[in-house]
A and B are shown apart, each in its own frame.
Chain A
Amino acid sequence: MDYFSIMVVDDEVDFLETLVKRLQKRNIDTVGVTSGEEALKILGEKRIDVVILDVKMPGGIDGIETLREIKRHQPLTEVILLTGHGSVETSIDGMKMGAFDYLLKPIKLEELMIKLSEAFEKKDLQEQKIRKARIKELVRFPGRVFQQEKE
């Protein structure tokens, strides 16, 4: 598995800290935040491949709102939703809005790892396609390399 970076968003601090620690212990670049606002802020500063997002967070913007913002600014970032709640509708709504999948708490790390790698693969694949498309374009219109670099 290539290097990838992860962000965990959950208002439950104990959960968040432990999960971050465990992921880091597995040499995964992980940051943990406790609110949607913080998540969006970090996302603007740092490259994040996959976001693990708790659907239900009190105060501020909730999980779904955060998801919408993430997808608007960085559509390629994959989001895995976490829910402890019975109402799965929210998670389904989330998936319709572009979330990769959802998991019910409590989760075993192994499960999470599998989902993470799937999400990363998907993202990777997507990025590869984009790269290939660019290369094709560059082969056809070499002049555009300057335009690309400007962006």
Chain B
Amino acid sequence: MKEQVYRNLQRKIIALTLVVSLAPLLILGMTLYYQFEATCREKTKEQIRYRAQAQAEAVDLFLKERTAILNAMADTHTFDHMIDEKNLARIFDVMNAHAGAFVDLGIIDSIGTHRAYVGPYDLRGRNYFDQPWFNEVIVKGHYKSDVYMGFRRQPHFIIAVRRHENQQAWILRATIDPNRFEEIIRSAQIGRTGDAYLVNRDGIFQTRPRFEGDVLEKTSLDTTQFGGRVTVIEKADPTGEERLYAGSWLNDNKWLLVINQQPLELMSRLFALRQTEIFIITLGVLAIMATTVFTTRLAISRLIKADQEMIELNAQLMQSDKLAALGKMAAGVAHEINNPLAVILQKTGWLEDLLAEEEFKESENIAEFRKSIAKIEEHVERARKVVHNMLGYARKMEPRLEDVDVNDTIHQTITILENHARINNIDIQVDLAETIPIIAGDQAQLQQVFLNLISNAIDAIGSNGAIEVDSRRRDDVIVVNIRDDGPGLSEEKMRKIFDPFYTTKESGKGTGLGLWVSHSIVSKMGGSIQVKNNHDKGAVFTVEIPIVIPEKK
């Protein structure tokens, strides 16, 4: 029952301490982690945004350069000059030498006929009048196509510029090498998961992406999500992994450069931090838990001990109070009984005196009278003994102070009882410490204490057993243990054992005063008697006597 209370208390303290100390730690750890993660994510987004922008600018520059060269060539040469394929080939060489990436070059006249061509395909004579881009380039003056297969079954795109000459329009058209173009874009495919590609407004791949699909296939990306300059969105890719997509429009908003990457790859520092944090928090939690459990256990065990001591102290105080009260009562009772006893004894004495006279000597019942008187005297004596025992300790209120050898007293006591013990087949073992000093006290009283305790032990065992008597010194106290292997004591007996008239012996055999008197004697000496049950069997009485060194005479 009590243990349950302590265990509950211990559990409560541990739980409360753990909650109070761990909660802030965990909250702090989590907050820090999520803050850091948010920052990290923001930085990653920034980084990918910057890369998209830079890459888009590079691609835009590439296109503008190509357009500018075409414009320059168209502006500095006449239609008649260009139409001569020898001249055109020279111009094509100059262009490739300065800028590169041109696959072919052609001149288209105002009605859409390919008039001159330099390049690997035979496109001369083809008419583009019906192509939508022809119209656009005539109206707008320049045109850049999306990537398409065209006649040559190869993904490519064209740049075309228009020129007016003598009221006549003509067009200079060049095809850009898709491989060269893709190289620029592929340079942004970074890391394990990084991808970079171009899509047009309809979401058709203009360059080959690293992971999903191929040129001229449709992307799963919704291009309308991207607006303004650079837009960063988070989205799951087709395999379900989270990715950051950064898109930047270029080429007059016709094409969208997309750079994407799994953000986690970029946040390796976050993982390092997470590992460290988890490690530190785990260590902290373990340390707190260990400390809490340890200190709480310690505190509880101290509490248990203090409670125990308190209980024992209370019990001792109650015992002393009880005995003191009973002592007073006993003294009062003694007076009230002793006086009538004194009268009875004198009266019977007087009867005896009278019976001794001549005239009664011959009386018929003289023997009976004598017997009765003897019986009365015997029982007065019995009553007297009880009362005197009760007052036994009080009679020696001022114990004589003499030199007492405690060990010697024990030896003497055992000698007195040895015979009695041997008859009952009880072995008395003695283990006395030699360091016990001679003390000032009343040897007769002390002997009475040991006599009571050892003879009680013999009575408790009955027959066949062993008694151990040991003495030792503990600081300023002599401790004597008298241990028997009898049946031990119930709690009830333990509580009442020092009460006067409490006896377990059959009536007439014990007065129930022995232990009471012993307790009083030892208390007067400033010591104590305690009784406990042995762990295995029987009881142990512990007498503690303070060491009072005799004055030198």
Contacts and interface: CB of A to CB of B under 8 A. Distances in A.
Given A104-B338, A106-B341, A86 B330 contact: yes
A84 interface: yes
B353 A12 contact: no
Given A85-B331, A85-B335, A86-B330, A25 B397 contact: no
A88 interface: yes
Given A84-B339, A92-B398, A104-B388, A18 B331 contact: no
Given A14-B347, A18-B347, A107 B394 contact: no
A105 B341 CA distance: 8
6 contacts: A15-B342, A15-B346, A18-B347, A85-B331, A86-B335, A92-B397
Interface of A: 12, 14-15, 18-19, 21-22, 25, 56, 84-89, 92, 104-109
A14 B397 CA distance: 30
Given A84-B334, A86-B330, A106 B397 contact: no
A15 B343 contact: yes
Given A22-B353, A105-B338, 17 more contacts: A14-B343, A14-B347, A15-B342, A15-B346, A22-B346, A84-B334, A86-B330, A87-B331, A88-B394, A88-B396, A104-B388, A105-B339, A105-B341, A105-B342, A106-B343, A106-B380, A109-B346
A87 B327 CA distance: 10
A89 B345 CA distance: 25
A42 to B, nearest CB: 21
B375 to A, nearest CB: 16
Contacts of A85: 331, 334-335, 338
A27 to B, nearest CB: 12
Contact of B342 (A22, A92, A107): A107
Contacts of A14: 343, 346-347
Interface residues of B, number: 28
B339 A12 contact: yes
B391 A18 contact: no
Contacts of B360: none
A104 B395 contact: yes
Interface string B396-430: 11100000000000000000000000000000000
Given A18-B350, A25-B353, A86 B394 contact: yes
B342 A12 contact: yes
A62 to B, nearest CB: 14
B343 A12 contact: yes
Contacts of B201: none
A124 B10 CA distance: 81
B119 interface: no
A88 B395 contact: yes
A82 B475 CA distance: 44
B164 interface: no
B344 A106 contact: yes
A122 B390 CA distance: 32
A109 B349 contact: yes
List the 9 shortest-distance A-B pairs measured between CB atoms, nearest first. Answer: A86-B331, A84-B338, A106-B342, A18-B346, A105-B342, A106-B341, A85-B335, A106-B345, A105-B338
Nearest to A56: B335
Given A18-B350, A92-B397, A86 B343 contact: no
Interface in B358-390: 380, 384, 388, 390
B335 A84 contact: yes
A84 B330 CA distance: 12
Nearest to A110: B349
Contacts of B331: 85-87
B334 A86 contact: yes
Interface in B2-50: none
Contacts of B390: 86
B468 to A, nearest CB: 36
Contacts of B395: 88, 104
B339 A22 contact: no
B161 to A, nearest CB: 139
B394 to A, nearest CB: 5
Contacts of A105: 338-339, 341-342
Contacts of B346: 14-15, 18-19, 22, 106, 109
Contacts of B347: 14, 18
Contact of A107 (B345, B391, B396, B397): B345
Contacts of A18: 343, 346-347, 349-350
A112 B334 CA distance: 20
A133 B342 CA distance: 42
A80 to B, nearest CB: 14
Contacts of B396: 88
B546 to A, nearest CB: 23
A19 B344 CA distance: 11
A108 B345 contact: yes
A16 to B, nearest CB: 9
A21 B330 contact: no
Contacts of B339: 12, 15, 84, 105
A17 to B, nearest CB: 9
Contacts of B380: 106
Contacts of B394: 86-88
Given A87-B331, A88-B394, A92-B398, A21 B350 contact: yes
